[in-house]
């Protein structure tokens, strides 16, 4: 892998925006990471193009995947139609992989659930594996809670997502400890800044797109109740295993740029 600090510096530089690029403030952002056996992931990823790296976790060589729920706020094509904005919940299901062509960390998307009719636009125009879902979101962030103890502005007193869709049903209930998370440059590259993402398009081809965001201020969370039917369907994790994530990170708000349009790769 290229030197972590140099690559991270590159990824923190914004590119010149395009006319179709999207900007959105992500509210109630969570990064729920799981450590799993790599052979459970291999059938769902084109391993000729992407390596599934493993890490020494509790004496075992395990791969990492993540579930990323959040609420898009002020989602818009900020150069083309900056006044035309949307708000909706979204959840990404992804695996941390290495692009064999570049040797750099990227992510492979199983797909995304979206609580918006924009699903139809994305599926029709760009063949993105987005799936319409019904959401219940109940998140309460108390800006005063934990200020003196942890030196930060607040923490969640309640964090709950419920998702119903034909593709994946999910239940997410997390406790925010309020404790700041400190990541090394290499950990940031793998967990929070794999800015290129790839996926199987609806036509079976491999597609991809890129994003940009700044360093994410994170706190550590604990699982209260986690379930994702997709992982059962794909034989990746059992219900019991889903209750034991490797780590959970939380952030009340972070701005993302999404470079559009997605293209076959």
pLDDT tens digits for range 25-61: 999 999 999 999 999 999 999 999 999 999 999 999 9
Q: What is the CATH number of the domain that holds 49?
A: 2.40.400
Residue 231 confidence (pLDDT):
98
% of the chain with per-residue pLDDT over 70: 95
In a domain, 23, yes or no: no
pLDDT digits over 85-127, tens only? 899 999 999 999 999 999 999 999 999 999 999 999 899 999 9
pTM here is 0.94
Least-confidence region, from 104-113, 141-150, 206-215: 141-150
Domain hosting 120: range is: 4-13+28-101+111-264
Does the structure show a pLDDT above 70 at 2? no
Residue 254 confidence (pLDDT):
96
DSSP string, the chain: ---HHHHHHHHTSPPPPPTT-EEEEEEEEEEEEEEE-HHHHGGGS-TTTEE---EEETTEEEEEEEEEEEEEEEEEETTT-TT--EEEEEEEEEEEEEETTT--EEEEEEEEEESSTHHHHHHHHH---EEE-EEEEEEEEESSTTHHHHSSS-EEEEEEEEEE-SS--EEEEEEEEEEE----HHHHHHHT---EEEEE-TTSSEEEEEEEE-PPP-EEEEEEEEEEHHHHHTTS--HHHHTS-SEEEEEEEEEEEEEEEEEE-
Number of domains in the chain: 1
Reported as a pLDDT band with limits 50, 70 and 90, residue 24 is very high
Does the structure show a pLDDT above 80 at 144? no
State both tokens at 59. Answer: 């004496």
């Amino acid at each position: 892998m290229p030197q972590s600090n140099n690559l991270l510096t590159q990824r923190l530089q914004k590119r010149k925006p395009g006319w179709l690029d999207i900007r959105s403030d992500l509210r109630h952002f969570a990064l729920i990471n799981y450590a799993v056996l790599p052979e459970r992931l291999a059938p769902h990823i084109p391993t000729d193009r992407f390596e599934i790296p493993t890490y020494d976790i509790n004496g075992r060589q395990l791969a990492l995947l993540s579930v990323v729920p959040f609420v898009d706020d002020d989602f818009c094509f900020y150069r083309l139609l900056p006044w035309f904005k949307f708000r909706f919940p979204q959840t990404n299901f992804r695996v941390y992989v290495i692009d064999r062509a570049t040797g750099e960390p990227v992510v492979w998307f199983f797909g995304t659930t979206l609580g918006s009719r924009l699903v139809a636009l994305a599926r029709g125009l760009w063949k993105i594996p987005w799936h319409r879902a019904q959401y219940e979101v109940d998140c309460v962030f108390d800006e005063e809670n934990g200020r003196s103890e942890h030196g930060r502005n607040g923490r969640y007193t309640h964090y709950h997502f419920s998702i119903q869709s034909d593709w994946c049903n999910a239940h997410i209930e997390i406790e925010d400890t309020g404790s700041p998370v400190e990541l090394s440059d290499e950990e940031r590259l793998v967990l929070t800044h794999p800015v290129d993402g790839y996926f199987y398009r609806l036509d079976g081809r491999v597609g991809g797109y890129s994003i940009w965001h700044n360093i994410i201020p994170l706190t550590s969370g604990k699982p209260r109740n986690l379930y994702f039917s997709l992982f059962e369907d794909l034989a990746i994790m059992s219900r019991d295993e889903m209750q034991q994530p490797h780590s959970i990170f939380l952030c009340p708000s972070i701005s993302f740029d999404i470079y559009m349009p997605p293209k076959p790769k």
